[in-house]
Amino acid sequence: MSIPVETKTRQRKYPFVDMKIADHTVLNSIEGRFICTECNRSRKFFCYNCYIPVGNLGALLPKVDIPVNIDIIKHKKEIDGKSTAVHAAVLSDRVRIFTYPDIPDYTKDDDVVLIFPGVTSVTVAQLFNKNVRLNTENNYGMPKGHNIGTMLRRRLEEIVEENQQENGEKKYTFTTLPIKRAVFIDSTWNQSRSIYKDKRVRSLKPVILQNRFSQFWRHQRGSPRWYLATIEAIHQFLVEVHVNAWGLNPSYEGLNNLEIAQAFYETVTMVASSHSEDMAREDPYNGQYDNLLFFFANMYDLIHKYYDHNELKSYRRPI
């Protein structure tokens, strides 16, 4: 994947450098706007009301095969054109978007979870019956002088025998995962709390993600740096599901620059694929869901072409 010239000259980590994201620079060559075939509105890349690409972009977009159905509940005041939730619906056929209060009734569903932080929230690993310590500290970095790639390989050496035994106990497929659907709330933090009070939503088991630095450029007052954009949260959730079910390929370095809490790596099962570039659906994680960030990474590059990273308020939020 190409890196913008402006990014190369900066002394900071480019978050997507080792991720398996298709070449999104094709978006930069698209001129003008196109009419959505469903609603006849004028759009640039995709229709954020109908969730389909416009023009001939559909033939150029990567399609992402994900293991869990995703429902996104959007607050009615959330601006459609600025929401990253639409990216997921355009890039994957297993994503639905609802505008609150017109949402499904989840009260009778046992295999649906809500991605929402709270005192009763469990981790993704705990959904797989793994006894995991939840990281509650703002610990994103490694010990001084260490790097995540090195730590991953050392960890692999330490637990390879244990993982072989564990993997022999349970073999998951896309159809036998302990969860079938995950619900995300697409709104500001204050708006999401009001949606959470709805009994249809509150009945769901809440799940908390491991802390990860957000790369979103849109500032939200009062939110910490680990408050993710919706598409980032979906990607993080799917990565956690995948590595708990099928492990992490130790040759994959795409997570290195995302600055995820160390607790995540302490619970990862790392299993090498027979081919390091293999991205089969139930192989160890090797970037299978990275293309969910296709539009997000392109917009990140565009923003950083015109604005200094260090001057954007979103990246100066407290940890």
- 153 in the Ramachandran plot: left (φ > 0), alpha (ψ -120 to 50) or beta? alpha
Look at residue 36 and tell me whether its pLDDT is greater than 60. Answer: yes
Least confident of 29-43, 225-239, 303-317: 303-317
- Residue 214: inside a domain: yes
Count of the separate structural domains present in the chain: 1
Query: Tokens standing for 246?
Result: 């099928």
**pLDDT at site 75:** 87
Taking the model in full, what pTM does it have? 0.81
Cβ pair 118, 202 in contact under 8 A: no
Q: Mean per-residue pLDDT for 198-223?
A: 82
Instruction: Name the residue range of residue 312's domain.
Output: 5-17+61-131+139-316
- Residue 125: inside a domain: yes
Residue percentage of the chain with pLDDT more than 70: 72
**pLDDT at site 158:** 45
**pLDDT at site 141:** 35
- Residue 55: inside a domain: no
pLDDT interval class at 142 (50, 70, 90): very low
Q: Where are the alpha helices (DSSP H) in 33-188?
A: 85-91, 124-127, 148-169
- Residue 236: inside a domain: yes
Q: What angle do CA 92, 97, 98 make, to 5 degrees?
A: 165
- Residue 28: inside a domain: no
Q: Mean per-residue pLDDT for 121-141?
A: 65
Query: Tokens standing for 213?
Result: 């630095």
- Residue 53: inside a domain: no
In whole angstroms, give the CA distance from residue 75 to residue 123.
Answer: 25
- Residue 155: inside a domain: yes
Q: What is the widest separation between alpha-carbon atoms in the chain?
A: 58
- Residue 54: inside a domain: no
If one counts every other C-beta atom within 10 angstroms of the C-beta of residue 272, the result is 18
pLDDT interval class at 80 (50, 70, 90): confident
Tell me what the pLDDT averaged over the chain comes to: 80
